Amino acid sequence: MLLTIPEVFTPEQVAEIRRLLDQAEWVDGRVTAGHQSAQAKDNMQIPEGHPIAEKVGERILSTLGQNPLFITAALPVKVFPPLYNRYAGGQSFGTHVDNAIRHVKGTSHRVRSDLSATLFFSQPEEYDGGELVIEDTYGLHSVKLPAGHLVLYPSSSLHHVRPVTRGARVSSFFWIQSMIRQDAQRSLLFDLDLAIQNLNQERPDHKVAVQLTGVYHNLLRQWAEV
Ligand code: NI
């Protein structure tokens, strides 16, 4: 499933976060890349554990924790503390698959990456290129969203970031361990949840909604790892 979650942050909140991120020291992005992806990666990042990274990260996670679409789609168990990248001057990230297991620096915590997320902090008109291109069985999907919007996609998919040839592309990226490891099962639960919500809106108190909600929870009970 490839899903856009719009307006996670308002333009005012984006501007405030950008002010904070611009104050941080940015370093070569290869520090968080695995062996294979280090060869493909060319960008700048804020070091893990940097106070600004942690401050903004807490805002991102608390905001997403109250975002019904994010919760419904991701069914999160754990979220890796958000990281930040910046591409400019022709920088790009070649085709790769994200590492399966991420260690949270300085802790014994590990997160299995079921879903990858990119939260855009630059407006599309601020830069040329920089599209996140995700490959799946339906082909290539090019993603370039307004600032404050987030894209969620399976961490198992090949993806790359096209060269930024003008301006700068600033975003946050992180991984989610979902209660539902398999993308197909998670997508099915998401569709069922949306259908139940639509039914509740169009035919409030319809008794079928109770049955369908039962099916949703019984599937979740069978498949979930918490
Ligand atoms: Ni990646």
Q: What average pLDDT does this structure show over 1-14?
A: 97
| Residue 35 confidence (pLDDT) | 72
The CA distances from residue 171 to 60, 75, 119, 161, 179, in Å, are 12, 23, 6, 12, 26
Distance CA 83, CA 100 (A): 16
| Residue 38 confidence (pLDDT) | 76
- Calculate how far, in angstroms, residue 188's C-alpha sits from the geometric centre of ligand 1: 24
Residues 27-34: contacts with CB within 8 Å, 24+ apart? 29/85, 29/93, 32/83, 34/99
- Calculate how far, in angstroms, residue 200's C-alpha sits from the geometric centre of ligand 1: 37
| Residue 112 confidence (pLDDT) | 98
Cα atoms found within 13 Å of the Cα of residue 75, Cβ hemisphere only? 25
pLDDT in tens, 182-223: 999 999 999 999 999 999 999 998 999 999 999 999 999 999
- Calculate how far, in angstroms, residue 149's C-alpha sits from the geometric centre of ligand 1: 18
Does this model's pTM top 0.85? My answer is yes
| Residue 79 confidence (pLDDT) | 97
- Calculate how far, in angstroms, residue 132's C-alpha sits from the geometric centre of ligand 1: 9
- Calculate how far, in angstroms, residue 96's C-alpha sits from the geometric centre of ligand 1: 6
Helix (H) or strand (E) holding 216: helix 207-223
- Calculate how far, in angstroms, residue 120's C-alpha sits from the geometric centre of ligand 1: 14
- Calculate how far, in angstroms, residue 160's C-alpha sits from the geometric centre of ligand 1: 7
- Calculate how far, in angstroms, residue 147's C-alpha sits from the geometric centre of ligand 1: 19
Residue carrying structure tokens 């993806």: 159
- Calculate how far, in angstroms, residue 98's C-alpha sits from the geometric centre of ligand 1: 5
Q: How many other C-beta atoms can be found within 10 angstroms of the C-beta atom of residue 147?
A: 22
- Calculate how far, in angstroms, residue 86's C-alpha sits from the geometric centre of ligand 1: 14
Cα atoms found within 13 Å of the Cα of residue 141, Cβ hemisphere only? 17
Q: In whole numbers, what is the pLDDT of the chain averaged over residues?
A: 95
pLDDT in tens, 138-163: 999 999 999 999 999 999 999 999 99
Which of 97, 80, 190 lies closest to 136, judged by CA? Answer: 97
- Calculate how far, in angstroms, residue 208's C-alpha sits from the geometric centre of ligand 1: 41
Instruction: Confirm if 82 and 48 have CB atoms less than 8 A apart.
Output: no
- Calculate how far, in angstroms, residue 156's C-alpha sits from the geometric centre of ligand 1: 10
- Calculate how far, in angstroms, residue 135's C-alpha sits from the geometric centre of ligand 1: 12
